[in-house]
Structure 1
C-alpha cells in the first residue's frame, strides 16, 4: 500500500502515516466497531469488505452490470442512476498520486461506455432527445469514439433532424480524417446515406441529384452491364451527368 501511495518518495515514517490514515477511515465508517466493521486488520495488512460499506464506484459498476442483464425498459433507469452516482470526479481530492490518475483514467473509460450504453438504450425506447444528450456527453470525453458518433447520427435520423445529423457526420468525418487519417466506418456511412435521402425527400432537385450520384456510384462499384444494355446504360449515364452538371452550375452561380 505504501508503494502504491508514495512510491519511491515514501519517507521513513510512511508506516505510521499509513496507520494514522487507516485509523481516520475507521473512525469515519465504523465508529465503535473496530473489530467487526468493514475495515479489519488481517495478516499484517487490511481487508475491506465491500458488502459492509457503501462505495460509489462499487455501486456504479454493479448498476451497469445489472443494466447489461436487463431489458431496455428496466436497464435505462439503472444506467441513469449509475451515471448520477459517477457525476462527481473520481478521487477529486487526490490530485498528485499516480495510482489516482490510473484509477480516474480507467473509470473515465467505464463512464463513457455507460453513456453510450444509455444513449443506445434511450434510442431503442424512442427517447431520441436523451439518446442525443448521452451520445454528445460521450463524444465530449472521447471525440474519436466511433460508436458514440454512430449513436448520435442515428439518433438525429430517428428524430427526423437530417440537417443536424448531416452536420454531426461532417464533424466526425473531418475529425477522423485529421486525427486518424481514415473515414468513418460502414455503419456511420450507411446512416449518412439515409440522412441524405431524408434531407432530399422534400426537395425535388436534391432528390434528382442524389439519385444521379447513387446511380453513378453503383455503376463504379457494380458489375458491368451486358452488351445489349449498353445503349440504355449510356443514356442513363448522360442523364445523370446532365443533372449533376446543371446542379453544380447553379451552385457556382449562387456562390
Structure 2
C-alpha cells in the first residue's frame, strides 16, 4: 500500500493495482491531514479546523465522526480467506484520531529518501546523482496535496514539500553540470526561471549551463533579465552569488562556471570553427555592449548607495 500526496491525495494498492481516490473535498482534506501526521494522534478540534476552518457546522463533532466513518470504509481491508492479517488503518483514541501506516509507505517519504541519496552522490558520482534525483522528482504528479483544502496542516505541509521539490531541482541541475550535461538542461532551466522568476539559484544554474555551451552573451543576458525582475518585483539587486557568477562569466575567470568537473584549465569561449568573421565581430560587439551595460548598472548602484547614506545622515542630523 502506498499513500500518495505528491499531487492529488490517493491510496494505491500495489498488489492489486487498485487506486482509491476520496470523492469529496472534506474526505480529501481529512485523509491528507492524517497522512501528513501519520503515526501521530490528531485532535478532533484540529481536524474540525482543518476541514471547516472558521465556519464549522453546528454539530461539528458529529460531522467529523461521519467523515471518519466514511474514510474507514474507503480504506482497504483483506479479502475473506486471503490469510492476510487485519490492519486497523484509522484508530480512535481519547485525544483524537491516528492513521497507522504499518508496512505501507508514502510517496513523500520515498521522495525525501531518493533526494537525500541523490545529494549524497553528487560529489563522487554526479551522473548517477542526477539519475537518482530525476527518479525522486518523477514521483510528483502535481502540486503537493492538490485539492485538499487550505487547512493549516495541509497548507503548511504543501509549502514545505514544494520547497523540497525546488531544492531537489537545484541539486539535479547542479549534478547535471558536474556530469558535463549542460546542453541537456538549458531548456528546462529556461522554463524554471520563467516559472520561478525570483529564485536566483535557477538563474545562476542557467547562466552556467549557457556559458559551458559557448553561449556567453546569452548567459549575460540572463543576468540582466534576473536583475530587472528582482529590482521591479522586490526592489533589490541580485545577491552576491549571482553577481559573482556574472563577473566570472564576463571575464572568463571562474573554473567552476567554465568547465565541467574533472577539467583542469580555464579556456575562453571561442566562436565555433568555420564561423565567418562577420559573426565573430558581431559577437564581440554584443559582449562589449553587455560589459558596458553591466558596468553602468554597477555605477548606478554605487550612486544609489551614496545617495541613501547621505539621506540617512541628513535625517539623523535633523533629528
**Is the radius of gyration larger for structure 1 or structure 2?**
1
Q: Which residue does the alignment assign to 2:111?
A: 60
Q: Cα RMSD (Å) of the superposition?
A: 3.5
Q: Higher helix share goes to which structure?
A: 1
Distance 1:199 1:192 in 2: 15
Asked if the contact 1:173/1:183 (under 8 Å) is kept, the reply is yes
156, 161, 186: which one aligns with 1:107:
161
> TM-score, length-normalised on structure 2?
0.56
2:234 pairs, out of 156, 171, 180, with: 180
Contact 1:79 1:114 in 2 (8 A): yes
Tell me the residue number matched to 2:255.
none
Rate the CA distance shift 1:140–1:60 in 2: closer, same or farther, 3 A.
farther
Alignment of 1:15 onto 2:84: no
Q: 1:80 aligns with which of 121, 129, 134?
A: 134
CA drift of 1:74 comes to 2.5
Q: Tell me the residue number matched to 2:99.
A: 47
**Quick check: 1:176–1:184 contact (8 Å CA) kept in 2?**
yes
Q: What is the number of residues matched between the two proteins?
A: 212
Identify the structure with bigger relative contact order (alpha carbons < 8 Å, sequence gap 6+). Answer: 2
Listed as ranges, the gaps of 5+ residues in structure 2 are 1-46, 252-267, 272-279, 300-319
Which residue of the partner structure matches residue 200 of structure 2?
146
- Rounded to whole Å, the distance in 2 between the matches of 1:74 and 1:205 is 38
Matched, 1:5 2:51: yes
Q: Distance in 1 between matches of 2:79 and 2:56?
A: 31
1:123 paired with 2:177, answer yes
**Hey, what's the Cα distance between the residues in 2 that align with 1:184 and 1:38?**
53
| 1:98-150 deviations in Å (ceiling 9; x for gaps) | 54333332222111111111111111111113433443344344321111211
Contact preservation (8 Å) 2:111, 2:137: yes
Q: Provide the rounded CA distance (Å) in 1 between the counterparts of 2:98 and 2:153.
A: 18
